[in-house]
Amino acid sequence: MNRACARVDLDAIRANLRLLRSRAGEAEVMAVVKADAYGHGMIPVARVARDEGLTWLGVALPSEALQLRASGDSGRVLAWLWSPGDPDIVRCVEAEIDISVSSVWAVNEVVAAARAVDQRARIHIKVDTGLTRNGVSVDELPSLIDAVKVGVHEGVLEVEGLWSHLADGDTPDAESVRHQRRRFEEASDAIVDAGVQPRLRHLSNSGALFAHTDCRYDMVRTGIAMYGLSPSADLGTSADLGLTPAMSLRARLAHVKSVPAGAAVSYGWRWSATEGTTLGLVPLGYADGVPRAAGAPRQGTAVQIVANASLCPVVGTVAMDQFVVDLGPSASSIAGDEVMVFGPGADGEWTADQWAEATATIGYEIVTRIGPRVPREYVGEDAGL
Ligand SMILES: *Cc1c(COP(=O)(O)O)cnc(C)c1O
């Protein structure tokens, strides 16, 4: 590492996957690797998941699924978010990628793609059970089933899955989960009554795997938990859940200087030193995914000096490429010293979940936003996979 890196511990991902699989019992675990595996790097993470024996990978976009194929992955992949006319759909059918459909137009486009390449396409029918985002509404389900049956009878469609997504999967005892589960059962019955038999039903995300055992069905789709972050503070910290955060964001101080009392720091002079102190410059900013809200006047966030495990507060406004930390009056740090912005939390350093809490967001947003300017570095036995 020179300026900075996001170190990704692939052994931690492997251990997290093992824990999730044991919790899932009979249900399969789909490793959700969309958004570059939540910032951890899609291809290396996918390799670990496959090596660990996972049958299914999940991504949002058809283009992400095609990137997996381009890397040599030949296992089952589901892609679930696309708009009419997406030229990648025909490529996905050709590459034997499972495609989610939420509308009649989507069924028709998959059928057309399958005809064009003379191959059978596999679909997962997504039903809206109450999240009110993607998914076919209950009213529209009969016409979607009719369109599906046309493709099935022609031999160009196969219904692999029936699925939905929860609004409060990570909230124990949520009324909305009971409601969505009932809707899911009703949709499932309606589809079977219409003569369509999906092979897999899946409803849970990471949070629901921990909070709602009755939503497991045949498969659970886990994203955040495989990266070692807690789906929600309501469920506890990652340590409480037995998970290990895989990513640590590290940097080398680019500048260190002593300043007198009263020295005002960064844009807007929102923080000034109350006594003479030493300041360190961390060469990461909001363009790299460090939340601007972490700086003054909000503050409260801290980075760790790796050499002595001391925590130093972020002071002043976080800029595009850099932010300042207060190393304290008697600091011995010099330029080049390593700091950990967040990590697993085992040595007192802040975790991504703590950064999220301090900046009014969720851990998902902290890790997925670490930008392309930050090189990923892989450690663990799997680093050479
Ligand atoms: C991202 C996503 C998941 C994974 O959710 P986590 O909370 O990260 O486990 C599962 N299903 C769908 C539809 C998603 O978009």
Ligand 1 centre distance from Cα of residue 205 (Å): 5
pLDDT tops 80 at residue 2 = yes
Query: Separation of 222 CA from ligand 1 center, angstroms?
Result: 6
Q: Evaluate if residue 298 carries a pLDDT over 80.
A: no
10 Å CB burial of residue 312 (0-12, 13-18, 19+) is buried
Residue 382 above 90 pLDDT?
Answer: no
| Mean pLDDT of the region 82-93 | 98
Mutation probe of ligand 1 site: the residue of 21, 80, 220, 221 with most atoms within 8 A of C-beta = 221
Q: What are phi and psi for residue 130, nearest 5 degrees? A: 145, -5
Query: Is pLDDT at 379 greater than 80 in this prediction?
Result: yes
Atom of ligand 1 nearest to the CA of 222: 9
What residue's CA is closest to ligand 1, atom 1? 223
- The atom number, within ligand 1, closest to the CA of 30 reads 10
Q: Find the mean pLDDT for residues 244-249.
A: 98
Q: Domains of the chain (ranges plus CATH)?
A: 55-227 (3.20.20.10), 247-379 (2.40.37.10)
Nearest-angstrom CA–CA distance, 314 and 323: 7
pLDDT in tens, 200-227: 999 999 999 999 999 999 999 999 999 9
Which residues have any ligand 1 atom within 6 Å of their CB? 32, 34, 80, 165, 205-207, 221-225, 231
DSSP state of 289: T
Q: Express each pLDDT in 113-145 by its tens digit.
A: 999 999 999 999 999 999 999 999 999 999 999
Give dist(CA 212, CA 165) in Å, integer: 13
CA of 4 to the centre of ligand 1 (A): 29
Split at pLDDT 50, 70, 90, the class of 199 is: very high
Distance in Å, CA 32 to ligand 1 centroid: 7
pLDDT in tens, 173-182: 999 999 999 9
